[in-house]
Amino acid sequence: MFALAFLLLCSAAHADLYRWVDPHTGSVKISSTPPPWFERSAGPQVEVIPYSGPGAKPAATADPASSPQTRWREMLLTVSSQPTKEGLQALITLTAELDRVDPAGAARRRSELANLAARIPR
């Protein structure tokens, strides 16, 4: 009996949130029920915050400039314009990391790395 009541209580927690600015006080209000004017579209603008379950990951907003592929490409350009043994070693390390993450592009990266290594004076 207790378990059934607990399950019913937990299922009620799955609700969207509504956020708006109270026109009388200027304070931000957040509620699990919409304000009375929400259906009529009269009154302050209401932001609906959709329910996302516990542990739900936020929408992907990763900066593409910070991806390993982009870092690798930038390092390749840096090492090719200013070739040093240290830079080449860092590029090889990043290549190994990227090969684990993206094995499909490993052959292309190895080819570009070999071309670069051939141009660096020893």
pLDDT, tens digit, 9 for 90 and up, residues 17-35: 888 888 788 888 888 888 8
- pLDDT greater than 60 at residue 77: yes
pLDDT score, position 66? 66
Amino acid in position 89: Q
CB under 8 Å to 120, separation ≥6 — which residues? Answer: 79, 83, 85, 88
What residue spans define the domains of the chain? Answer: 15-52, 64-119
CA–CA distance, 16 with 43 (Å, rounded to integer) = 20
Cα separation, 77 vs 33, whole angstroms: 55
Q: How many Cα neighbours within 13 Å face the side chain of 88?
A: 17
Mean pLDDT, to the nearest integer, of 66-91? Answer: 80
Please name the residue that has the structure tokens 């910070």.
66
Q: What is the pTM of this model?
A: 0.43
Given a cut of 60, whether residue 61 has pLDDT beyond it is no
Between these two residues, 67 and 111, which has the higher pLDDT value?
Answer: 111
